[in-house]
Amino acid sequence: MNRDRGRAPAGVQGLLRPVPTMPRGGRGVVLKTAHDLECMRQAGRITALALRAARDVIRPGVTTADIDAAAAEVLRKHGAQAAFLGYGQPPFPAVTTVSVNEELVHGIPGRRRLVEGDIVSVDCGAVVEGYVGDAAFTWGVGEVSELASRLMRVTLAALWAGIAQMRPGKRTGDISAAIQQCVEGAGFNVVREYTGHGVGRQMHEDPMVPNYGTAGKGLLLRPGMTIALEPMVLAGSPETAVLEDRWTVVAADGSLTAHFEHTVAVTEGGPWVLTDQEPGLDESAGIGYNEYFAGPAAAPGTERKPS
């Protein structure tokens, strides 16, 4: 899966597309057919199931490896490949990235035990018949602080603010600006070094979609474009660093971070969230959880699926 044409800072190959430049033109963007989108929906559905399984094991005392194992089991059961396993250099050793508190993205699952009050971000990519689904969420371990709770809500709201822009005639800058305004309006910061990205038969395709930008600028959105939107938000300074494991990206100032992501298609009927969970499934799982998978009522004009 190491086909990312971007280059990460500090010699690290990211699972997220790093930002060498702003999105350029329409070249390299792969428009998907209706068949492609149905296949991507299958990959997205299994990604959602894996994340749900990961979410369901999160509690004080479990290790980040336990979370990874729960997601891996879902992929195995459905015959899906893991987009992250073996990705990059050094090869990523797990099915999910699990990032705790100040770890923003790309945390390597392992022996770390979660404690009450942690917030944990899980990112997963499932590959089904060559099509990739890419999604992530952040979840609290037991009771979390007011700040942590607000950070997660704002990051999720930013994701849906971006999704609401995924319509023909809008531009990538509209997505970026919507995310940035939501985050900065709440007093938090977006990451600069990592971005959302096109996704399809490759985990990283054009266009890059930064979490900051100018409305009305960037690439014109057209039906058949599929983008993984992923606000990565820091409660403190936007600066990041990479740990010695050459993967884990942390807030340079040690502040709390959150990350939500969905793979979304632009269609004539509006945005189609391909990594949404199936309607009606697990409706009792909690408001924030359902908001992530089904979308908050506060995202006006955003349909679950195009008509």
Distance CA(6)–CA(21), nearest Å, equals 9
Would you give the binding string for Mg ion spanning residues 74-103, x where CB under 5 A is met? ------------------------------
Q: From the CB of 93, what's the least distance to Mg ion, in Å?
A: 16
Residue 40 phi, psi (nearest 5): -65, -30
Distance CA(109)–CA(66), nearest Å, equals 8
Asked if residue 134 binds Mg ion (CB under 5 A), the reply is yes
Q: From the CB of 134, what's the least distance to Mg ion, in Å?
A: 4
The residues near 76 (Cβ < 8 Å, ≥ 6 apart) are none
Helix (H, G, I), strand (E, B) or coil at 86: coil
Give CA separation, 100 vs 90, 105, 256, 280, in Å.
21, 9, 9, 30
Q: Which CB atom, from 228 or from 294, has the smaller least distance to Mg ion? A: 228
Q: Which CB atom, from 83 or from 234, has the smaller least distance to Mg ion? A: 83
Asked if residue 209 binds Mg ion (CB under 5 A), the reply is no
Distance CA(276)–CA(189), nearest Å, equals 26
Q: Which CB atom, from 17 or from 170, has the smaller least distance to Mg ion? A: 17
Asked if residue 123 binds Mg ion (CB under 5 A), the reply is yes
Q: From the CB of 15, what's the least distance to Mg ion, in Å?
A: 6
Q: From the CB of 197, what's the least distance to Mg ion, in Å?
A: 6
Residue 300 phi, psi (nearest 5): -60, 140
Would you give the binding string for Mg ion spanning residues 37-76, x where CB under 5 A is met? ----------------------------------------
Q: Which CB atom, from 68 or from 145, has the smaller least distance to Mg ion? A: 68
Site size toward Mg ion, by CB under 5 A: 5
Q: From the CB of 204, what's the least distance to Mg ion, in Å?
A: 8
Would you give the binding string for Mg ion spanning residues 259-278, x where CB under 5 A is met? --x-----------------
Q: From the CB of 57, what's the least distance to Mg ion, in Å?
A: 19
Indicate if the alpha-carbon torsion angle 213, 10, 126, 74 is positive or negative.
negative
Residue 280 region, left (φ>0) first, then alpha (ψ -120 to 50), else beta? left
Angle subtended at Cα 180 by Cα 176 and Cα 184, rounded to the nearest 5 degrees: 175
List the one residue out of 158, 162, 44, 144 whose CA is nearest residue 100: 144
Would you give the binding string for Mg ion spanning residues 225-254, x where CB under 5 A is met? ---x--------------------------
| Contacting positions for Mg ion (CB under 5 A) | 123, 134, 136, 228, 261
